[in-house]
Copies of this chain bind each other. A is one copy, B any other.
Amino acid sequence: MRIGLDAMGGDLAPESTVQGAVMAVNEYGYHVTLIGREDEIREQLKGLDYPADKIDIFNASQTIEMHEPAALSVRKKRDSSIVKGAELLKKGEFDALVSAGNTGAVVCAATLSLRLLPGVDMPGIGVIFPTLDKPCMVIDVGANIGPKPFHLLQYGIMGDAYSKHVFSRENPVVALLNIGEESTKGTEFIREVHTMLSESNLNFIGNIEPRDVYCGKVDVIVCDGFVGNIFLKVTEGFADAASTLVKRELKNSGFVTKLGAFLTLPAFRAIKRKIDATEYGGAPLMGVDGSVIIAHGSSNAKAMKNAIRAAAENVSHKVNAHVVEELRSY
């Protein structure tokens, strides 16, 4: 398995990316191509222990920063790690590409270089979301913020294929994120999507309210990219705020409460492991003709390693072939 990694992508890059690549090489035996500024990558590789034939570097002199406008920077920065990564994947230099860089730029570069799968009109980011039961895919969480209703039908079909072939779920349950359960709820756009999903062959159970997502009764949650992105960021923000609140309260507590908190730590560590986003690796960019995994901007080395593993799984489960097959039967 050969994975290309945008070595410059992410808030902690290139340290996180290079270390994550070395971990993946040593743990899983993959080959990793690090794409980015060669001197910086070599600097990071110094002193790390790995089989030399398993890592190589492709020099790309530019980087697209996190807040640069996506389409413009992809057009202008032709020698950036993101653009080069997408081009190298297209050429078959590796089997999958991982980036924790500017999400919009990754979507844009991947779509331009790789093109879309037959039957797909817009790519969608399908994040793997931990719940109280099993993880589900929420698609789209930001690739396409002004979608047409049929894009969301395609997201449902792609999520269904992913859920079947990567999570081995039979007849995955698909739901539409909405502000109420009744089919009459929501905007005209949402109601149109509801009708399309109802008329499809998917195991569509109707609308799901955000508060019911966490119980994990659903395998695929379909939404437009704007709403999906809000959904994702509210969850992240709330988790951070809750953690801050607990720490602050404990700091002002007496000895007994502090002792209690100390004794409770194992339970909280276990919870953290269960819902730790870094465990699930990155989010597959569904619908492009190639395996692309988008990792969180704040990914550390472990998260990068897991994103590389997720990319390899995407390839070995032939996700795209199954997506094409499912789309053809609709």
Contact = CB atoms under 8 A, between A and B. Distances in A.
A142 interface: yes
Contacts of A184: 69
A212 B237 contact: yes
Interface in A212-266: 212-215, 226-227, 229-231, 233-242, 244-246, 248-250, 253, 256-257, 259-266
A179 interface: yes
Question: Range of interface residues on chain A?
Answer: 35 or more
B146 A226 contact: no
A132 B241 contact: yes
B267 A230 contact: no
A206 interface: no
Contact of A275 (B209, B245, B275): B245
A145 B187 contact: yes
A229 B179 contact: yes
B249 A267 contact: yes
A201 B233 CA distance: 29
A146 B187 contact: yes
Nearest to A216: B241
A145 B180 CA distance: 12
Given A210-B230, A226-B179, A233-B179, A132 B187 contact: no
A257 B266 contact: yes
A271 interface: yes
A257 B264 contact: yes
A288 interface: no
A48 interface: no
B241 A266 contact: no
Contacts of A182: 67
Contact of A237 (B180, B210, B259, B266): B210
B240 A214 contact: yes
B234 A186 contact: no
A209 to B, nearest CB: 6
A296 B268 CA distance: 30
Given A131-B241, A227-B227, A267 B271 contact: no
A177 interface: yes
Interface in A51-75: 67, 69
A328 interface: no
A274 interface: yes
B250 A267 contact: yes
Given A229-B179, A245-B132, A267 B263 contact: no
A185 to B, nearest CB: 9
Contact of A260 (B226, B229, B264): B264
A-B interface, 4 closest residue pairs, ranked by CB to CB distance from nearest: A260-B263, A211-B237, A214-B241, A260-B264
8 contacts: A67-B182, A142-B179, A145-B187, A177-B230, A179-B226, A227-B227, A242-B242, A246-B268
Given A132-B245, A212-B237, A234-B238, 13 more contacts: A67-B181, A213-B237, A227-B227, A230-B230, A234-B234, A235-B238, A245-B271, A246-B271, A249-B270, A249-B271, A257-B264, A257-B266, A259-B260
